[in-house]
Amino acid sequence: MGQKILQGPFPYKRFAAPPGGPDLRRRGLIDSRSSGLYGMGQSRPPGLHSGATHAQILLTLSALLLLSGNLFAQAGSPEDLFRKGNEYFASGRYGEATATYQDALALKPDFKEAWYNLGAAFGQMRLFDKEKEAYHKALAVDPGYSRAHYNLALALEDEGSYEEAANEYREVLKVQPDALDAYMNLGILLARQDRLDEAVKVYEDALKAITDLPELRFNLGVALGRLAEKATDPAQKVALTTREVESYTRAIELRASFYKAAYNMGLAWHRVGELDKEIAAYAKALDFKSRYPEALYNLAYAYEEKGELSKAADTWTRYLDAAAKLDGEKDYAELAAKERDRIQKKLATQPASAPAAPAAQPQ
């Protein structure tokens, strides 16, 4: 089964969002769709399927069929043509692959795997209407063919048919209740539509149906964080944030170097005004990844908010060093340089600390 990945909350799906709005003091949540949701679902370029590629899916299927013994016994048989189509597909010759699959289907119209691979090849050629038609043909042969439901869901997402895509993911889960990538992608899809309560339920259902995985915990935390950002009742905001932090904490327990979870935890604590906990979370993220620009950026602001100006200036310097060669940090780095200069000027005008008074001598 293929996979899509979220960063931010949803690797299965980019890094923190660029500056937006009047408040540039804190970078935003990493989303499984930032180069950053984690999970088995990550954002893909328009028109392309994310996660495990069609080629990987097809080759897995091909390997399974090759193991079936006498399946390819007769040259010129539908099965032999199917194998030849797979070879064309694997070498990127998609036009020849589609023609060969169609030859196989002319001999065996109920060859569901050939319909499926024909759809995958059309997808690589960006012939999305033909891709969907091929998956529908496969499903007409076998309505419970989970692979076809899954790839059909991806194709529907590509064209913006989100509700239909969600239904196809649900069809996958009816047949394959432990399909992690279907859970992840469904949750991500719902979250993208701002259906956050539904996304939370999908991730919680996945945790019950499969196992406790860091990607699931991460994406659940992101969805809860977005709900917390929208909450107008202070008590509800705190309750949702607490659940969010618990999810990130569990993700780190399951994957000790999960720096994105620690970073998002810092943002969660910032939301509810827990400055010391915010600083500790960014520090943890930097323990895992010492040159993590998002964490350094936010940590510098947090230190200044706490009144620790020397640490803030030092952290801005660390950030600027880490961001120097990163194109995506250009706008942030320009602001960071101004912030460091401002703090250094403030430090230069502060009176030197008076030396400590000598300890009283005993009489």
Domain end, chosen from 195, 217, 239, is at 217
Residue 263: which residues within 8 A CB-CB, separation 6 or more? 16, 30, 281, 282, 285, 292, 294, 295, 298
The answer to whether position 197 is within a domain reads yes
Residues 35 and 174 in one domain: yes
Residues 173 and 310 in one domain: no
Residues 194 and 313 in one domain: no
In percent, the amount of the chain with pLDDT more than 90 equals 74
* Token digits of residue 135: 């998956």
Domain end, chosen from 217, 243, 263, is at 217
Of 95 and 24, the one with more pLDDT: 95
The answer to whether position 342 is within a domain reads yes
What pLDDT does 204 receive? Answer: 96
Residues 104 and 13 in one domain: yes
Q: How far apart are CA 333 and CA 238, in angstroms?
A: 32
Q: 219 and 4 in contact (C-beta within 8 Å)?
A: no
Of 27 and 63, the one with more pLDDT: 27
Angle between helices 180-192 and 196-209 (to 10 degrees): 170
Q: What is the pLDDT of residues 244-257, one digit of tens each?
A: 999 999 999 999 99
Q: How far apart are CA 132 and CA 72, in angstroms?
A: 27
Residues 307 and 203 in one domain: no
The answer to whether position 281 is within a domain reads no
What pLDDT does 359 receive? Answer: 58
Sign (positive or negative) of CA dihedral 282, 287, 292, 293: positive
**What is the number of residues in the chain?**
363
Backbone dihedral region of 38: left (phi > 0), alpha (psi from -120 to 50 degrees) or beta?
A: beta
Mean pLDDT of 124-130: 93
The answer to whether position 172 is within a domain reads yes
pLDDT at 197 > cutoff 50: yes
pLDDT tier, 351 (very low <50, low <70, confident <90, very high otherwise): confident
pLDDT at 20 > cutoff 80: no
Return the CATH number at 158: 1.25.40.10
Residues 93 and 183 in one domain: yes
pLDDT tier, 358 (very low <50, low <70, confident <90, very high otherwise): low
| DSSP one-letter string for 183-239 | HHHHHHHHHHTT-HHHHHHHHHHHHHHS---HHHHHHHHHHHHHHHHH--SHHHHHH
What pLDDT does 161 receive? Answer: 94
Q: 31 and 7 in contact (C-beta within 8 Å)?
A: yes
* Token digits of residue 186: 């469904």
Residues 305 and 182 in one domain: no
pLDDT at 231 > cutoff 60: yes
Q: How far apart are CA 253 and CA 243, in angstroms?
A: 15
Q: What is the pLDDT of residues 56-96, one digit of tens each?
A: 344 334 433 333 333 443 458 999 999 999 999 999 999 99
Domain count of the fold of the chain: 2
pLDDT at 320 > cutoff 50: yes
What pLDDT does 175 receive? Answer: 94
Residues 192 and 48 in one domain: yes
pLDDT at 120 > cutoff 80: yes
The answer to whether position 224 is within a domain reads no
Q: 282 and 302 in contact (C-beta within 8 Å)?
A: yes
Residues 37 and 170 in one domain: yes
What pLDDT does 355 receive? Answer: 58
Residues 208 and 338 in one domain: no
The answer to whether position 222 is within a domain reads no
The answer to whether position 362 is within a domain reads no
Domain end, chosen from 196, 217, 238, is at 217
Range of the domain at 160: 1-61+77-217
User: What is the number of other CB atoms lying within 10 angstroms of the CB of residue 49?
Assistant: 23
Q: How far apart are CA 319 and CA 313, in angstroms?
A: 10
Q: How far apart are the first and last CA of the chain?
A: 82
The answer to whether position 113 is within a domain reads yes
- Distances 269 to 25, 30, 86 between C-alpha atoms, Å: 14, 15, 51
pLDDT at 29 > cutoff 60: no
Residues 305 and 191 in one domain: no
Residues 169 and 34 in one domain: yes
pTM of this structure: 0.75
Mean pLDDT of 135-162: 95
**Average pLDDT over the chain, rounded to whole?**
81
